[in-house]
Structure 1
């Protein structure tokens, strides 16, 4: 995956997070984002954003980071 593709994933997850903040708090929003990623993102997309979050994650919003953390908890090793 190219840097441009990664940048697009970062932009998408941050937008999804922004759109789910209406759930009232970051924890509930993050769960909604993680559910969205599980349902709609390809395995390769989830793996790439998870790798980025573990390596740096500087461009991810707090809700995005929390969602990736929750997603990672449920992914097989």
Structure 2
């Protein structure tokens, strides 16, 4: 799976929700979209890159959503 493409798509989602004046609502929107519309393997690949520190081009809003909503996005309890 091309992680750079996943990052690009995640950033597009982030750009859409960045217009929301309430940052918490924007983070929730990003997390909800990733959880509902991305395949599990896509979410896992994005997190693998994020956790390894190689997802350096992620928009700040997307990074915040990944940190704050990890369990929700991955669909399980974090270890």
TM-score computed with the length of structure 1 as normaliser: 0.84
Match of 2:50 among 41, 49, 53: 53
Cα deviation digits, residues 6-55 of structure 1 (max 9, x gap): 11100000011011112114332111010001110000000010111111
- Counterpart of 1:44 in 2: which secondary structure? helix
5+ residue gaps, structure 1: none
5+ residue gaps, structure 2: none
Whole-angstrom distance in 2 between the partners of 1:36 and 1:19: 11
Cα deviation for residue 66 of structure 1 reads 1.2
Who is 2:67 aligned against? 69
Stretches of 4+ aligned residues off by more than 3 angstroms: none
